[in-house]
Chain A
Amino acid sequence: MSTDLKPRKAAPAKAGGRPARSPRLRSSIGLKLVMAVSGLLMVGFIIAHMAGNLHVFEGRESMNDYAHGLRTFGEPLIPHESLLWVMRLGLIAAVGAHIWSSVVLTRRALAARPVRYASKKPAKGESRHAAATMRWGAAVIVLFVTWHLLDLTFRTVNPVKEVPDAYGAVVAAFAPERWPVTVFYLLALVALGFHLRHGIWSAVQTIAGPDTRWRARWQAAALGVSVIVVAGFAVVPLAVSFGLVN
Chain B
Amino acid sequence: MKLKLRIWRQSGAEAKGRMVEYIVDGISEDASFLEMLDVLNEQLIAEGADPVAFDHDCREGICGACSLVIDGQAHGPQAATTTCQLHMRKYRDGDVIDVEPWRAGAFPVIKDLVVDRTAFDRIIAAGGYISAPTGTAPDAHATPVAKQDADAAFAAAACIGCGACVAACPNGSGMLFMAAKVAHLARMPQGQPERHTRVLGMVAEHDASGFGGCTNTGECSAACPKEIGLDVIGQLNRDFRKAAAKAA
Contact B205 A28 (CB under 8 A): no
Looking at B22-30, B53-61, B66-74, the stretch in contact with chain A turns out to be: B66-74
**Complex: how many Å from CA A5 to CA B121?**
10
A126-B218, A207-B237, A208-B234 known; A112-B104 Cβ under 8 A: yes
Contact A209 B234 (CB under 8 A): yes
The B-contacting residues of A in range 107-141, CB under 8 angstroms, are 108-109, 111-121, 123-128, 130-131, 134
**Complex: how many Å from CA A118 to CA B69?**
10
A154 shortest CB reach to chain B, Å = 34
The B-contacting residues of A in range 177-203, CB under 8 angstroms, are 198, 201-202
A18-B247, A109-B212, A207-B237 known; A3-B108 Cβ under 8 A: yes
**Complex: how many Å from CA A94 to CA B22?**
54
Contact A210 B13 (CB under 8 A): no
CB-defined contacts of B209 to chain A, threshold 8 Å = 8
- For residue A64, CB closer than 8 A to chain B, the reply is no
**Complex: how many Å from CA A3 to CA B244?**
32
CB-defined contacts of B204 to chain A, threshold 8 Å = 11-12, 19, 23, 27
Looking at A29-37, A38-46, A155-163, A231-239, the stretch in contact with chain B turns out to be: A29-37
**Complex: how many Å from CA A208 to CA B173?**
20
- Number of A residues whose C-beta is below 8 Å from B? 58
**Complex: how many Å from CA A5 to CA B116?**
8
A125-B220, A207-B241 known; A131-B106 Cβ under 8 A: no
How would residues 47 to 87 of chain A score, 1 for a CB under 8 Å from any chain B CB and 0 otherwise?
Answer: 00000000000000000000000000000000000000000
**Complex: how many Å from CA A118 to CA B72?**
8
How would residues 171 to 198 of chain B score, 1 for a CB under 8 Å from any chain A CB and 0 otherwise?
Answer: 1110100000000000000000000000
CB-defined contacts of B118 to chain A, threshold 8 Å = 4-5, 7
Contact B231 A211 (CB under 8 A): yes
CB-defined contacts of A215 to chain B, threshold 8 Å = 230-231, 234
Prevailing SS type, chain A contact patch: loop
Across the two chains, which residue of chain B brings its CB closest to A17? B197
- For residue A205, CB closer than 8 A to chain B, the reply is yes
CB-defined contacts of A28 to chain B, threshold 8 Å = 173, 175, 203, 206-207, 211-214
A11-B205, A130-B215, A215-B234 known; A19-B247 Cβ under 8 A: yes
**Complex: how many Å from CA A109 to CA B173?**
8
- For residue A212, CB closer than 8 A to chain B, the reply is yes
B76 shortest CB reach to chain A, Å = 10
* Complex partner residue of B172 from A113, A120, A134, A201, CB under 8 angstroms: A113
List 8 extra interface pairs beyond A28-B203, A28-B206, CB under 8 A.
A8-B209, A10-B205, A19-B204, A28-B214, A118-B6, A123-B170, A123-B219, A130-B216
**Could you name 6 residue pairs across A and B whose Cβ atoms are closer than 8 Å?**
A1-B109, A105-B213, A117-B69, A118-B19, A123-B170, A210-B231
The chain B residues found within 8 Å of chain A, CB to CB, are 6, 8, 13-14, 19, 69, 71-73, 98, 100, 103-106, 108-110, 116, 118, 121-122, 125-127, 170-173, 175, 200-222, 229-231, 233-238, 240-241, 244, 247-248
